[in-house]
A and B are shown apart, each in its own frame.
Chain A
Amino acid sequence: MDELITYAPDLGLGFLENVKLALVALVTSLVIGTILVAMRVSPTPVLRAAGTIYVNVVRNTPLTLVLAFSALGLSDQLGLVFSGEPRTNSFWLVAMGLSLYTAAFVCEALRSGVNTVPLGQAEAARAIGLTFSQSLTMIILPQAFRSVVAPLGSVIIAMIKNTTVATAGGFLADAAAVMKETFDQTGASIPIFLGIVVAFMVLTMPIGFFTGWLSRRLAVAR
């Protein structure tokens, strides 16, 4: 127990990095996922194909590889640099990789939501003269979002836990990296393990409860 207390400040700072990564990825993956689903249901074949290819490539690539590619491929080889400061640079590379990866899952959750919206809703939208993008953003997606709040919660929880593989993208300041560093010095410690588990549960469990409650509240009555 003592080692948990001793290293709590370091671990806490590491955990804060996980929270920051999760917040960035939450916002950007929801935005990118929504754009992807718009592409996947659009009437334009090129956009549909691009969305499909993106989702299938990214969703089926292990996250560690996506992050390694962000760091080694995009940054080192192709020169994508967010900041001259290495730690800041790797933070944003990991945040980007995690967002791009999670966006594929957000897209697929939303797409299953789109499929729950009856065809008649889109027909009625077109019949009053809404354009495709208007009917998507005003009629289809709002109803799709409401029907997939709970599964989106699961995607978000998975994303939060995925912040612990940030090391794969060269970001060595998150809780898992700090934990490994600590263990290298002191040997493995069950209390530290459990302490980090509890920290993640405190973060993710309310999200599960909240999205479950929200999905009941927002459910569209038909």
Chain B
Amino acid sequence: MTENGDGAPLVRLENVNKHFGALHVLKNINLTVSRGEVLVVIGPSGGGKSTLCRAINRLETISDGQIIFDGQVLPEEGKALARLRSDVGMVFQSFNLFAHKTIRENVTLGPVKVRGLSRDAANKRAMELLERVGIAAQADKYPAQLSGGQQQRVAIARALAMDPKMILFDEPTSALDPEMVQEVLDVMVGLARDGMTMVVVTHEMGFARRAANRVVFMADGQIVEENTPDEFFTNAQTDRARDFLSKILTH
């Protein structure tokens, strides 16, 4: 796959550092994500991938440097930050659907309370999105009544309902039973095809090959290597990346 965005940057991280006490979890990160781009972040556990992903909508604060989203430095707090987050979808490893609300309510809450959509309009849109991810029949159930794969697809529909400018995926398939991984990846590949800007932290190399425009390899809080998926998987430049790939691709 080649670049399918218009190339204009949507997110720019400039010299971003983060410390957890003595731990330096993000080390001088510089990274740009273009509109329409699908960026896959891979690397060993504890390498800072999730922290990087969560920093983009400020679920993690950063120690220094700056993150610019859509031409604006991330606000620190309050209404401006809430507004920014409403434009950045987020899909979590553990789904985090609102446990006391039905599937439909999970998908309509943001549009009604944040975007000010009428309930009817939000319901109509929710059903379209649930249809798209294949869960429309379960709209009146509660999250706990659905399988992990179904819950994660609802979480994607919840993110889409906000008409976000981009979606962050923080290990979206890591908590799933193996037979449910594919149904979630299929939805994500569909989104990528439709031109959604995506940052995906994942261990699914198949997804990276199929859908990514660019792969970023992170280890020890640093971006070690960036390349197209083909180049990265067949011809990694650094020892660290080759070592990581040999461990996950040999079997």
Residues of A within 8 A of B (CB): 118, 120-121, 123-131, 134, 138-139, 142-143, 146, 220-222
Contacting residue for B158 out of A118, A126, A128, CB 8 A:
A128
Does B90 lie at the interface of the complex (its beta carbon under 8 Å from any beta carbon of A)? Answer: yes
Contacts of B109 in A (CB 8 A): 128, 130, 138
Residue numbers in A under 8 Å from B89 (CB-CB)? 127
Q: How far is the CA of A130 from the CA of B111 in the complex (A)?
A: 10
Q: Please give me the 9 A-B residue pairs with the lowest Cβ-Cβ distance, nearest first.
A: A129-B86, A221-B144, A128-B110, A124-B96, A120-B96, A127-B90, A129-B114, A129-B85, A220-B99
B94 interface residue per 8 A CB criterion: yes
Across the interface, which residues of B come within 8 angstroms of A129, CB to CB?
82-87, 110, 114, 162
Instruction: Render B76-94 as a binary contact track against A, CB cut-off 8 A, 1 for contact.
Output: 0011001111111110101
B145 at the A/B interface (Cβ < 8 Å)?
yes
Q: Do B82 and A221 touch across chains, with their CB atoms under 8 A apart? A: no
Contact A221 B90 (CB under 8 A): no
Whether A128 pairs with B92 at a CB distance below 8 angstroms is no
Among the listed A120, A134, A142, which residue makes an inter-chain contact with B92, where contact means beta carbons less than 8 Å apart? A120
CA A123 to CA B97, docked complex, whole Å: 10
B residues whose Cβ falls under 8 Å from a Cβ of A: 57, 59, 78-79, 82-90, 92, 94, 96-100, 109-110, 113-114, 142-145, 155, 158-159, 162
Alpha-carbon separation in the docked complex, A220 to B100 (Å): 6
Give the complex CA separation of A220 and B92 in angstroms.
Answer: 20
Q: Are B100 and A131 in contact (CB under 8 A)?
A: no
Task: Tell me, in angstroms, the Cα distance from A139 to B114 when the chains sit together.
Answer: 14
**A125, B59: Cα distance in complex, Å:** 11
Contact A126:B100 (CB < 8 A) given known A120-B94, A221-B145, A222-B144: no
B84 cross-chain contacts in A, Cβ below 8 A? 129
Q: Which residue of A lies closest to B158 (CB)?
A: A128
A127 to B98, CA, bound (A): 12
Query: Are B113's CB and A134's CB within 8 A?
Result: yes
Q: Which residues of B contact A139 (CB under 8 A)?
A: 98
In the complex, chain B residues whose CB is within 8 Å of the CB of A131: 78-79, 82
Q: Contacts A120-B94, A127-B90; is A221 near B142 (CB within 8 Å)?
A: yes
Q: List 9 A-B contacts (CB under 8 A).
A: A118-B96, A120-B94, A121-B98, A123-B96, A124-B97, A128-B109, A130-B82, A130-B114, A222-B144
Nearest CB to that of A143 among chain B residues?
B100
Report Cα–Cα, A124/B162, bound state, in Å.
13
A131 CA / B131 CA spacing, docked (Å)? 29
Question: A138-B113, A221-B144 in contact; A126/B96 too (CB < 8 A)?
Answer: no
A126: chain B residues at CB < 8 Å are 59, 82, 85
| Overall SS of chain A's interface | helix
The smallest beta-carbon distance between A33 and chain B, in angstroms, is: 20
Bound-complex Cα distance A217 to B144 (A): 15
Residue in A closest to B57 when the chains form the complex, CB atoms: A127
Q: Please name all residues of chain A whose beta carbon is closer than 8 Å to the beta carbon of B142 when the two chains form the complex.
A: 221
With A124-B155, A139-B98, A221-B144 already in contact, 14 other A-B pairs whose C-beta atoms are closer than 8 Å: A124-B90, A124-B92, A126-B82, A126-B85, A127-B59, A127-B90, A128-B162, A129-B83, A129-B114, A130-B82, A131-B82, A143-B99, A221-B143, A221-B145
Q: Which residue of B lies closest to A142 (CB)?
A: B100
Chain A residues near B82: list those with CB within 8 A.
126, 129-131
Please give the distance in Å from B123's CB to the nearest CB on chain A: 16
B158: chain A residues at CB < 8 Å are 128
CA distance A222 to B162 in the complex (A): 25
Chain A: which residue is nearest B85 at the CB level? Answer: A129
- What distance in Å separates the Cβ of B235 from its nearest Cβ neighbour in chain A? 36
A19 to chain B, nearest CB (A): 32
What residues on A are CB-neighbors of B90 within 8 Å?
123-124, 127
Q: Which of A129, A139, A142 has the most CB of B within 10 A?
A: A129
CA distance A143 to B96 in the complex (A): 13
* Whole-angstrom distance between the Cβ of A12 and the nearest chain B Cβ: 42
Using CB atoms, name the residue of chain A closest to B83.
A129
When distances are taken between beta carbons in the complex, the residues of chain B under 8 Å from A124 are 90, 92, 96-98, 155
* Cα of A210 to Cα of B35 in the assembled complex, Å: 55
Does B113 contact A123, Cβ atoms closer than 8 Å? no
How near does chain A come to B143, taking the closest CB pair, in angstroms? 8
- Determine whether the beta carbon of A222 is less than 8 Å from that of B99: yes
When the two chains form their complex, are residues A221 and B99 in contact, meaning their CB atoms are under 8 A apart?
A: yes
Cα(A130)–Cα(B90), bound, Å:
13
